[in-house]
Amino acid sequence: MIVTLTANPSIDRTVVLGGRLVRGGVARSTGATAQAGGKGVNISRAAVAAGVPTLAVLPADEVFVAELGGAGIECRTRLPAGPVRVNLTLTEPDGTTTKINHPGPVADRRLLDGLRDDVVSLAGDADWVVLAGSLPPGAPDAWYAELVVDLRATGARIAVDTSGPPLAELAAALPAAAPDLMKPNGDELASLTAADAVRLEADHRAAADAALELVGRGVGAVLVTLGAGGAVLATPDGAWHAPAPATEVVSTVGAGDSSLFGYLLASERGLPPEERLAHAVAYGSAAAGLPGTTIPRPSDVGPASVRPVRLQVGRPAPTT
């Protein structure tokens, strides 16, 4: 089972534009969608579509939870601190995506402690626990790092996908707070390793070397998503790069979440690292070819078309 935590869920509204977005101009839409979302929620959606048992932990109201229930997602919820935030995505005909994310309601200690207790209590029956997305206002930046320490005692494997100060605090707490998987993009990886983000996007070996720094500090595996450049996977056994298959990009929203699920799905099936990477890239590419925050189903995904290549890189230094 995959347990997901979405501490700061959202209603994801996507507006499809008929032309290029011009700052200060008038934009006309050709359609719009809205659905209950958040990074952990998206991973649970993908799990349901693939027939993998999942349970989503989140603060949400009855309407939000009812929508997830209609999608087959079982939830463990806490009363939210306020109305669920609304995130707006604008997509242009060429696939260019502009996101406007709201901060969400301020969470108090009671809510945060309740979410932590729920996740830790469920972890004993989980194969993976996924901590995904931003933290709500009011949450300490180190909250994910502290939660990883608690979860490590349960025996569940832990994946983290976040950014900004919570990601920096997680890295600062390594190796005590080392998860089994981290999924940064190029910019996020650069912020953790003092590497140049532009170089990481262009040089797969540089991305692998930077990811291996985190592996050397105790992280089990680092999956670096690079958009059209595919992805890099680093583990104690080495590093691989997989190029993205040719895709007509419709919307990049949810592509990173789908990549993370592809890795988890392959892990659940006992596949080796390079096949986990192939599934991650295939899922992410499939999501980019779908409108809005549509999460791909297995029939949309072709991991056999993705051919990972082992990279010649230095081995990570041992954890101290």
User: In one letter, which amino acid is 136?
Assistant: P
| HSE-up of residue 255 (Cα within 13 Å, Cβ side) | 27
- Average pLDDT, stretch 124-144? 97
Task: Give me the residue spans of the domains in the chain.
Answer: 2-22+29-311
Look at residue 35 and tell me whether its pLDDT is greater than 50. Answer: yes
Q: In the chain, pLDDT over 90 holds for what percent of residues?
A: 82
Q: How far apart are CA 45 and CA 58, in angstroms?
A: 14
**What torsion do the CA atoms of 207, 210, 214, 220 make, to the nearest 10 degrees?**
30
Of the chain, the end-to-end C-alpha distance in Å amounts to 32
Over 90: is that where the pLDDT of 240 sits?
A: yes
pLDDT digits (tens, 9 = 90+) for 46-94: 999 999 999 999 999 999 999 999 999 999 999 999 999 999 999 899 8
What distance in Å separates the CA atoms of residue 140 and residue 107, rounded to the nearest whole number? 10
Give the residue from 41, 83, 46 showing the smallest Cα distance to 62.
83
- The model's pLDDT over 175-202, given as tens digits with 9 standing for 90+, comes to 999 999 999 999 999 999 988 999 998 8
Q: Which CATH superfamily is domain 2-22+29-311 in?
A: Ribokinase (3.40.1190.20)
Distance CA 295, CA 45 (A): 7
Q: How much of the chain exceeds pLDDT 70, in percent?
A: 98
What does the angle CA 252 – CA 239 – CA 54 come to, to the nearest 5 degrees? Answer: 50
Q: According to the model, what pLDDT value does residue 317 have? A: 45
307, burial (CB in 10 Å: exposed 0-12, middle 13-18, buried 19+): exposed
User: How many Cα neighbours within 13 Å face the side chain of 143?
Assistant: 29
320, pLDDT greater than 50: no
Residue 316 reports pLDDT greater than 60: no
pTM over 0.85? The answer is: yes
**pLDDT given at position 207:** 96
Please give the C-alpha separations between residue 262 and each of 77, 242, 269, 310, 320, in angstroms, as whole numbers: 25, 13, 11, 19, 31
Q: Does residue 128 contact residue 156 with C-beta atoms inside 8 Å?
A: yes
* Spatial separation of the C-alpha atoms in residues 240 and 205, rounded to whole Å: 9
Could you give the residue numbers annotated as active site? 257
Contact assessment for residue 272 and residue 238, using Cβ atoms and an 8 Å cutoff: no
Token digits for 303?
Answer: 């991991």
- Whether residue 141 contacts residue 25, with contact meaning beta carbons closer than 8 Å, is answered with no
What whole-number distance in Å separates Cα of residue 118 and Cα of residue 122? 6
Mean pLDDT, the chain, whole residue set = 93
Q: Is the pLDDT of residue 212 over 80?
A: yes
